Structure 1
Amino acid sequence: MACPAAPARCCGAVSGAVTIDRLGHRGDGIARDGGAVLYAPRTLPGEVIDGPREGDRIARPRILTPVAERVRAPCPHYAACGGCALQHAADGFVAAWKQEVVAQALAAQGLEAPFRPMHSSPAFARRRATFALRRNKGGATVGFHAPASHTVTDVPECRLIHPALAAARPALAGIAAMGGSRKGTLSATVTRLDAGLDVAVTGGKPADTHLAADLAALCARHGILRLAWDGEVIAQVERPRLTLGGITLTPPPGAFLQATADGEAALRAAVTEATAGAARIVDLFAGLGTFALPLARRAEVHAVEGDAAMVRALEEGWRGATGVRHVSAEARDLFRRPLEPDELARFDAAVIDPPRAGAEAQARRLAASTVARIAAVSCNPVSFARDARVLVEGGYRLCWVQVVDQFRWSPHVELAALFARDHIAPGATKGQSG
């Protein structure tokens, strides 16, 4: 029976060439063919491509006319690995595109702002990564999922992760061989801390006494500081320690941490400048105290975080620190119970670093508050722009935005920004526009 659809739209048929107009928020190229919108991974604006169509996607595009911004991918695993999406693009193009993503998100809310120069983390800098582990006949595969696939790609020469994480591959393979099944994939979040690696695994077999003992012995052999198995610590060679701005603490297993130390330092510098001169600061969605603890060297800080284990770690860090002012900490769900304007009234400045969903409810309370400065950190330009509009409508001015790219070669975008009620905001340098 003949296919009723046009040959170019079904059965993986190859149709005429199309030109990529722009990149979407996931980094895929977007083209138009008549009234149809097509998506093609690992393409660039201006390129002419063709290839088999699967619905609205050209999953394996053939580049007929490349553009000057196309470069040879530095990683030998790029074709098979889905961990990166933009290695085929020159660094300058990626930087400009990521800044434009933020500018377009703001424009969609009727906003604009001066852009500070972008900060990009180098290769081999990721200190935290989540590996996929798959047990097989030969032992185990340790890597990342292939593009749009459940297949796990081995990545012995990954250019993204810190060498300490790459060195953990034999240990992770051993973990998969011991605790994985042939039918499932384990997820292992590996974090480089001060004296070694912290590993948190999910999706493995139940850790009975024998398996726990075997895994503990493996950690001792490979120098893994701590192993958590589906949320429970089953092995700890020594107490894991993490230093944030010169203050040391013990993070809970799998706790959120900025992806690179370099990116964290850039964000911290932006937040420190944005809150300069404040005597009392509230840090909303404080996490482990990435900003709260260093800020306490010059101001009193109240840190609010929904995860009680991270709050305890933050408090531990403050109690053991010297040369810091008072830090109070509160475990509170800011989505359900945002700080109200009367609670915010005692603070000169606020720091807010919410998850990808943003913090619209808290932004509305801040918009109704008397807080003079807000240092905003975001990992989602769309939710940031939505919340920024709330603040601007409440009387704040968006003074500047700085994009911080610590997820190199990915479409992920992070940023820091300053909102102020005062007439002249610090750091709003003339001429620093995008």
Structure 2
Amino acid sequence: MSTRFTIKRLGSQGDGVAETETGELFIPFTLPGETVTAARERDRATLMAVLEASPLRIEPACRHFTECGGCAVQHLQADAYHQWKRDKVVHALKGIAGDIGALVPCAPHTRRRVVLAARRADTGMLLGFHRHLSPEIIPIEECPISLPEIVAALDRLRSIADLVCATTKSFRMAVTVTGSGLDVAVYESGKLGENQRRVASNFVMANGFARLSIDDEIVIEPKKPIVMFGTVAVAVPPGAFLQATEAAEQTMADLVGGHLKRAKKVADLFAGCGSFALRLAAKSEIHAVEGDAAALSALDRGSRFATGLKRVTGERRDLFRRPLTFKELNAFDGVVFDPPRAGAEDQSKQIARSDVPFVAAVSCNPVTLARDLRILMDGGYVLKSVTPIDQFLWSPHVEAVALLEKPKRRR
């Protein structure tokens, strides 16, 4: 049974929010000011029809929108979408940051890494994304967020999924565009038989893929997947974390590099494969700290084979369990940290106690960024700027770079 609702605002996850006698109701794919009919279930509802459309409603860029759960707001006009994204950072940092910069937008067809869902069905191999809030896999034939190389390979990727599938359950396939070709990392597809391994390897070779790995074990690697961090080439390990788009990564690196340009020694915390460290090493000595051994090894190899870099050292360390202490940090005059969504609460407490003059905080979660910035500011840091960056097009996720300085203490 459907009921009529009026949408009051756009929620943090991109759902339209209607106010009812029993509380807020979340209706995906609706916009503020619209009158809609929807079938309600508890605090969520399924959109049935838009009776009065918002003037901000536009034609979605993808035929799979509303079925595929990868995008939330393709139906929102661009300027309004950018404002909504920036407002997420403004709202999270209310009372902390007075002046937040304009959103750096994300262009379509630029996402270099996607995680697809796959499952063998009676009709054949399904490959695509999960339906919104559902385990159902929606097969895709296009994807306007992704680089064309990924879209052009969808049929071949479906064939790889079919060749490596040894489970009745769904599994994941992370696909990354690298300078050497597509890097395909499969997870939870079941134990591969020898014949499957041989057939899959032959397919990868014949179709020009750079690498196939299963649960981070390399099945075949015809070409090492190479990613450029500035001028430094890095052979990334299977399943390596990368920023979603090259353009966003470069924007973040430019902001961080500009802020730390006077720092002779920089600590890069949660350094990954070196997206910041190897760019900063052109002007500063770098100490890269990362918990993942494979990522740190890739960073180290990249620095050793590069030319024109200052000294780069690495340290494997779980910064959640054992953050760098303020005494250790005092050996540096610049720090950049880019933690997972959980943020870096304990590490921020140590930075706050330190005398490091320049700090750059990079975050994919405005809520935990707000907490970490408050810790730093309570420790004497002055927030100089916050720049929101969109690299997860048409999704609720937004990146931000915050730059801080600590005034020198008077003796």
Q: Give the C-alpha shift of residue 253 in structure 1.
A: 0.1
1:250 partnered with 2:235: yes
Instruction: Name the amino acid aligned to 1:411.
Output: P
Q: 1:227 aligns with which of 206, 212, 222?
A: 212
Is contact 1:171–1:219 with CA below 8 Å preserved after alignment? Answer: no
Counterpart for residue 428 of structure 1: none
Offset of 1:49 from its aligned partner?
2.3
SS at match of 2:46: coil
| Residues 167-186 of structure 1 aligned to structure 2 (within 5 Å) | 167-181=152-166, 183-186=168-171
Matched, 1:163 2:148: yes
Aligned residue in 2 for 1:56: 43
Find the counterpart in structure 1 of residue 357 from structure 2: 372
Per the alignment, residue 321 of structure 2 pairs with 336
**Deviation (angstroms), 1:25:** 1.9
Shift of 1:113: 3.0
For residue 371 of structure 1, report the CA deviation from its aligned partner: 0.7
Give the drift of 1:116. 2.0
Q: CA deviation at 1:324?
A: 0.5
| Secondary structure in structure 1 of the residue aligned to 2:362 | strand
Tell whether the 8 Å contact from 2:164 to 2:197 is kept in structure 1 after alignment.
Answer: no
Q: Kindly indicate whether residue 77 of structure 2 is the aligned counterpart of residue 90 of structure 1.
A: yes
- What does 1:374-393 align with in structure 2 at a 5 Å threshold? 374-393=359-378
Q: Which runs of 5+ in 2 are unaligned?
A: none
Q: Is the aligned partner of 1:203 residue 2:183?
A: no
Q: Is the 8 A contact 1:14 1:51 kept in 2?
A: yes
Equivalent residue for 2:97? 112
Say whether the 8 Å CA contact 2:224–2:235 is kept in structure 1: yes
CA distance in 1, matches of 2:332, 2:245: 30
Give me the whole-angstrom Cα distance separating, in 1, the residues matched to 2:396 and 2:225.
31
Residue number in structure 1 paired with 2:27: 40
Match of residue 362 from structure 1: 347
Q: Is the 8 A contact 2:85 2:103 kept in 1?
A: no
Are residue 26 (structure 1) and residue 13 (structure 2) matched? yes
* Cα deviation, residue 24, structure 1: 2.1
Which runs of 5 or more structure 1 residues have no equivalent in the other structure? 1-12, 424-434
* 1:409 maps to 2:397: no
In the TM superposition, residue 182 of structure 1 has moved relative to its aligned partner by 7.0
Q: Does 1:100 align with 2:87?
A: yes
Greater shift in the superposed pair: 52-61 or 381-390: 52-61
What aligned pairs does 1:263-274 form with structure 2 within 5 A after superposition?
Answer: 263-274=248-259
Aligned partners of 2:9 and 2:32 also within 8 Å: yes
1:14 aligned residue: 2
Q: Aligned equivalents of 1:48 and 1:417: distance in 2? A: 39
Moved more, 95-104 or 291-300: 95-104
- 1:313 correspondence with 2:298: yes
Bigger drift between 183-192 and 305-314 goes to 183-192
Equivalent-residue separation in structure 1 for 2:62 and 2:153 (angstroms): 19
Residue number in structure 2 paired with 1:302 = 287
CA contact (8 A) 1:135 1:181 kept: no
* Partner Cα separation in structure 1 for residue 26 and residue 187 of structure 2: 33
1:429 maps to which residue? Answer: none
Query: SS of the counterpart of 2:278?
Result: helix
The code of the aligned residue for 1:76 comes to: R
- Which of residues 396, 399, 407 is equivalent to 2:381? 396
TM-score when normalising by structure 2: 0.96
Please say which of residues 62-71 and 321-330 is displaced more in the overlay: 62-71
Counterpart residue type for residue 173 of structure 2: A
Given that residues 41 and 61 in structure 1 are in contact (C-alpha distance below 8 angstroms), is that contact kept between their aligned partners in structure 2? no
1:168 Cα deviation from its structure 2 partner:
2.1
Report the TM-score when normalising by structure 1.
0.91
Secondary structure at 1:334's aligned position in 2? coil
Distance 2:216 2:143 in 1: 27
Letter in 2 for 1:261: E
Match of 2:53 in 1: 66
Identity rate of aligned residues, in percent? 41
Q: Deviations over 1:84-128 (max 9, x none)?
A: 111010111111111111111111xx3123222221121111110
Matched, 1:418 2:403: yes
Distance across 1 between alignment mates of 2:22 and 2:43 = 12
Shift of 1:339: 0.4
Select between 397-406 and 22-31 the one with higher mean Cα deviation.
22-31
Q: How many residues align?
A: 408
Instruction: Answer yes or no: is 1:240 the counterpart of 2:225.
Output: yes
Instruction: Report deviation, 1:320.
Output: 0.5
Tell me the C-alpha RMSD between the 2 structures.
1.4
Distance 1:177 1:323 in 2: 45
**Range that drifts further, 120-129 or 135-144:** 135-144
Aligned with residue 79 of structure 1, among 47, 53, 66: 66
CA distance in 1, matches of 2:347, 2:79: 35
Q: Is this contact kept in 1: 2:227–2:233, CA < 8 A?
A: yes
How far apart, in 2, do the equivalents of 1:208 and 1:35 lie?
54
Moved more, 223-232 or 291-300: 223-232
Is the 8 Å Cα contact of residues 281 and 349 (structure 1) preserved in structure 2? yes
Q: Whole-Å Cα distance in 1 between the matches of residues 216 and 210 of structure 2?
A: 15
Q: Is the 8 A contact 2:2 2:48 kept in 1?
A: no
